[in-house]
Amino acid sequence: MQFRPASRAVGMEYAIRDLVLPARELERSGTKVIWLNIGDPGAFDFDTPEHIKRAMFDAILEGHNNYGDSEGYIELREAIAEREKRKNGSDIDTGNIVVTTGITEGIQLLLGAMIEQGDELLVPGPTYPPYSSVTKYYGGKPVPYRTIEEKNWRPDLDDIRSNISERTKAILVVSPNNPTGAVYSESDLREICNIAAEHRLPIISDEIYDMLTYGKKHVSPSTVSKDVPMVILNGFSKSYLVTGWRIGYTMFRDSGDSLKELKEAFLKEARARLCASNPAQRAMVAALKGPQTHITKMVRALRERRDYAVKRINEMEGLSVAVPDGAFYVFPRIEAPGWKNDRDFVLHVLKHGHVLFVNGSGFDGKYGGMHFRSVFLAPMEMMEKAMDGLQTALTVRR
């Protein structure tokens, strides 16, 4: 007897990893592939700072290997609150902070507590895939609002307004953005907050790349509006180079009590899944309170690699790319004719250039189509080989 899985699971997609299988098949045939599909600094030449490694090691040796509180280690939540006050000027009580197993679990718990059948979530077009896939998983509908490529993927404020309906539950902001690298301006964020207030909607703000910007400083929506209810998602994976340790956090910021029931539902889910890694949480206290010099060095290296990738791509006939102001992604437009779709293009580059990118439609079919995403995390020598491979694939006739 064939057991049929639930349709909600069958429909799950995650383009960033879905193209791994053909890349592995190519490598099994003896071809070396350059993997530029996943935003993992540790897979390249960025290493976890020694004091953070030592803190993790010490936490294990000191016996912190048991379950922790479902809300998270109190000293870590206090350090997060201090960090939020220092960076964004926001006063967030530790009771409104929940430590999660990476930011991805925060997304799952939040949307599980928020979305019911037929509800809508406004998401940037394009955006990080789990916001759309998890919304669908819970029976909701992700509604993309346009971001304007010609203006460095600035959010289209009129499109946000026009897409709000009586089923809209929240407006999502992802800045710096994955996959475009856009950093939203203070004026655009203020207007998004005004729209949210007008329609009595909360804002969900994904700020995982807030320390990785190149000249244009990250501004949190919590800085420009003190009244609009917000759920802020952040974590340690990217800036502190601990992607595999899986520690993130979710913060509820509300001047009244409009998020009270949502937070309570979130906490019920958090208790049901037990807790995030106890020793890793203790190490993250050291991450927040210890030296931050690695971030400056990382941003310096990434800026050089970004500039190189943008220059090479814009020199290639049939491609163009906006300069990203944050994160570590470029999102080029495929202008050359002859491709069935962007996935077809990415598979062609894999076959003939031996470089793995991610098809842009995986981030949104309408606004990401006929684009692809590449990380620029690789060392310069590898970046050069990758860009050479892309150039070679463009010259191969299909």
In the prediction, which pLDDT does 294 show?
Answer: 97
- Sorted by sequence, the CB contacts under 8 Å of residue 187 that are 6+ apart come out as none
3-state secondary structure of 49: coil
In the prediction, which pLDDT does 398 show?
Answer: 60
* 48, HSE (Cβ side, Cα atoms, 13 Å): 19
Alpha helices for the chain (secondary structure H): 7-10, 15-18, 20-28, 50-61, 74-88, 102-114, 129-137, 157-162, 186-198, 221-224, 260-272, 278-289, 293-315, 342-353, 380-395
Query: How would CATH label the architecture of 50-289?
Result: 3-Layer(aba) Sandwich (3.40)
In the prediction, which pLDDT does 205 show?
Answer: 98
Q: What letter represents residue 380's amino acid?
A: M
Domain locations along the chain: 7-47+293-395, 50-289
Query: Is domain 7-47+293-395 in CATH 1.10.10.10, yes or no?
Result: no
In the prediction, which pLDDT does 17 show?
Answer: 72
pLDDT tens track for 224-282: 999 999 999 999 999 999 999 999 999 999 988 899 999 999 999 999 999 999 999 99
In the prediction, which pLDDT does 4 show?
Answer: 84
* Distance from C-alpha of 98 to C-alpha of 253, rounded to nearest angstrom: 12
What's this model's pTM, rounded to 2 decimal places? Answer: 0.95
pLDDT in tens for each of the 398 residues of the chain? Answer: 788 888 888 777 777 777 888 999 999 999 999 999 999 999 999 999 999 999 999 999 999 999 999 999 999 999 999 999 999 999 999 999 999 999 999 999 999 999 999 999 999 999 999 999 999 999 999 999 999 999 999 999 999 999 999 999 999 999 999 999 999 999 999 999 999 999 999 999 999 999 999 989 999 999 999 999 999 999 999 999 999 999 999 999 998 889 999 999 999 999 999 999 999 999 999 999 999 999 999 999 999 999 999 999 999 999 999 999 999 999 999 998 889 999 999 999 999 999 999 999 999 999 999 999 999 999 999 999 999 999 999 998 76
In the prediction, which pLDDT does 10 show?
Answer: 79
In the prediction, which pLDDT does 260 show?
Answer: 96
